């Protein structure tokens, strides 16, 4: 008999519990070099220390000049080239009246210059340029601060550091930032039937496929998980290992041993030696998933079937990892049209495997994989997204818009 454990809940309740528990743990931020910041969650607000661009500069390779001088020239206007201004040079001397300077893209505009003519639009001859037509005043100049003004708030705590954001911080000269620490994660597979790939396969045994699935999913989400040896179906050994992991990791991720079978020890272990936040969610696959904690470690115990691992990790594991890192920016919710009809014949919140492909109109269609049993890994390998169908029986027509979780 299992000890006092909460019963089946809806996926939204499970998510609410996960978010609440994760929010209580908000860890102290750590400072890291910007060079290592990609994918991390920012833990401070970023106020621009300088303007972008920092100074007026040329947009093109050409000649910088004062537009009024040009307008005063007889036709066709000619100007003497009084010097060169290359990217990286300081703005130098102010522009001599009636002259231009050769300038390259990104070079600071000399004082007095207000317009750039691109080199393709001039004829150059012995230190002079001749223009075929008049440029607009202010043409091909990038103004200081037109992208960012010094003192503007650009990013906030809880935002993800995408490569473009890291690059923006670099452009501002910021070299170190405060981010949320990444949770440390211990990964356990369980079951006497498991054999590691590369070893001979005795009768009645199967290869361990979930470890690589979980390690890969975690790494895809930027973590550096630690794989522990597979746990046998043996209460004492399981207990020692899980206690050791709980003392050293922020999150213990297990798979298998969480259903109601004779050898499913995890619910009892956590009920007796920790706490169960929920056990069993009205989802398919993945119903037996359990969320609990022991000491400082949170436990997310996923069911053993490979597709259940995928669905529970994407549906519950990712929000847990986001919560633990203080991510405030919601993940985008993607949708696609069903490539064909589908009949949902049970009440649970369902995750079907599906293949994404553009329809004739270019809009993404998702084709459900007919092999929808949770042990059928091939269907997951041949798909690129889970199709999310909310609770309730229902017939879906071709072209209906459904939510998808790409993986």
If binding is defined by CB under 6 A, does position 368 make contact with ligand AMP?
no
**Among residues 307, 246, 390, 194, which one has the least CA distance to residue 289?**
307
Alpha carbons 16 and 92: distance in angstroms, whole number:
61
Binding of residue 254 to ligand AMP (CB under 6 A): no
Instruction: Please pick, from the candidates 166, 194, 231, 339, the single residue that binds ligand AMP as defined by CB under 6 A.
Output: 194
CB of 159 to Mg ion, least distance (A): 40
CB of 352 to Mg ion, least distance (A): 24
- Please give the Cα distance from 149 to 401 (Å, whole number): 42
Binding of residue 354 to ligand AMP (CB under 6 A): no
238 vs 386, beta carbon nearer ligand AMP: 238
Q: State yes or no: residue 303 binds ligand AMP (CB under 6 A).
A: yes
Tokens of 195: 């054999």
Q: Is 299 helix (H, G, I), strand (E, B) or coil?
A: strand
CB 254 within 8 A of CB 270: no
- Among candidate residues 32, 146, 130, the one with its CA nearest the CA of residue 80: 130
Please report, in angstroms and rounded to a whole number, the separation of the first and last CA atoms in the chain: 37
383 contact, one of Mg ion, ligand AMP, none, CB 5-8 Å limit per kind: none
62 or 303, CB closer to ligand AMP? Answer: 303
Helix/strand/coil for 16? helix
Q: Candidates 58, 208, 241, 325: give the one binding ligand AMP (CB under 6 A).
A: 208
Q: Which two tokens mark 291?
A: 């969320």
Among residues 293 and 305, whose Cβ is nearest to ligand AMP?
305
Sheet holding 185-189, edge to edge: 226-227, 185-189, 251-255, 297-302, 290-294, 275-279
Integer Cα distance of 4 and 22 in angstroms = 23
Give the number of other CB atoms < 10 A from CB of residue 192.
12
| 187 sits near ligand AMP (criterion: CB under 6 A) | no
Beta carbons of 47 and 154 less than 8 angstroms apart: yes
110 or 306, CB closer to ligand AMP? 306
- CB of 25: closest distance to ligand AMP in angstroms? 28
Count of positions on this chain that bind ligand AMP (CB under 6 A): 20
306 counts as binding ligand AMP under rule CB under 6 A: yes
Q: For binding to Mg ion (CB under 5 A), which residues are involved?
A: 191, 256-257
383 is a site residue for ligand AMP (CB under 6 A): no
Residues that bind ligand AMP in the complex, under the rule CB under 6 A: 189-191, 193-194, 206, 208-211, 255-259, 261, 303-306
């Amino acid at each position: 008999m299992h000890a006092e454990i909460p019963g089946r809940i809806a996926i939204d309740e499970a998510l609410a519990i996960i978010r609440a528990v994760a929010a209580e743990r908000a860890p102290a931020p750590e400072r890291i070099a910007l060079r290592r910041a990609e994918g991390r969650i920012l833990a401070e607000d970023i106020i621009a220390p300088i303007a972008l661009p920092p100074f007026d500069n040329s947009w093109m390779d050409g000649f910088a000049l004062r537009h009024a001088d040009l307008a005063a020239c007889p036709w066709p206007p000619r100007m003497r080239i009084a010097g060169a201004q290359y990217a990286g040079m300081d703005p130098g001397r102010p522009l001599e009246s009636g002259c231009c300077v050769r300038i390259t893209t990104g070079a600071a505009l000399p004082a007095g210059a207000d317009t750039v003519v691109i080199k393709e639009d001039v004829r150059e001859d012995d230190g002079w340029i001749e223009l075929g037509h008049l440029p607009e005043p202010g043409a091909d100049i990038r103004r200081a601060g037109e992208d960012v003004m010094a003192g503007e708030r650009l990013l906030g705590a809880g935002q993800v550091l995408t490569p473009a954001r890291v690059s923006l911080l670099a452009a501002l000269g910021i070299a170190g930032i405060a981010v949320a620490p990444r949770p440390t994660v211990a990964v356990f597979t369980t079951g006497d039937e498991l054999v590691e790939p590369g070893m001979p396969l005795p009768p009645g045994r199967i290869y361990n496929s979930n470890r690589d699935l979980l390690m890969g999913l975690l790494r895809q989400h930027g973590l550096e998980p630690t794989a522990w040896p597979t746990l046998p179906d043996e209460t004492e050994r399981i207990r020692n290992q899980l206690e050791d992991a709980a003392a050293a990791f922020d999150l213990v991720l297990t798979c298998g041993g969480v259903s109601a079978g004779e050898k499913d020890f995890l619910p009892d272990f956590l009920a007796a030696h920790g706490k169960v936040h929920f056990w069993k969610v009205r989802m398919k696959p993945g119903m037996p998933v359990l969320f609990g904690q022991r000491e400082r470690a949170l436990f997310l115990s996923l069911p053993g079937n490979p597709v259940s691992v995928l669905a529970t990790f994407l549906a519950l594991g990712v929000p847990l990892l986001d919560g633990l890192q203080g991510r405030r920016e919601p993940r985008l919710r993607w949708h696609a049209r069903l490539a064909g009809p589908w009949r949902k014949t049970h009440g649970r919140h369902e995750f079907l495997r599906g293949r994404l492909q553009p329809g004739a109109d270019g809009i993404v269609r998702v084709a459900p994989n007919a092999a929808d049993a949770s042990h059928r890994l091939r269907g997951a390998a041949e798909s690129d997204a889970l199709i999310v169908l909310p609770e309730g029986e229902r017939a879906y027509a071709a072209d209906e818009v459904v939510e998808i979780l790409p993986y």
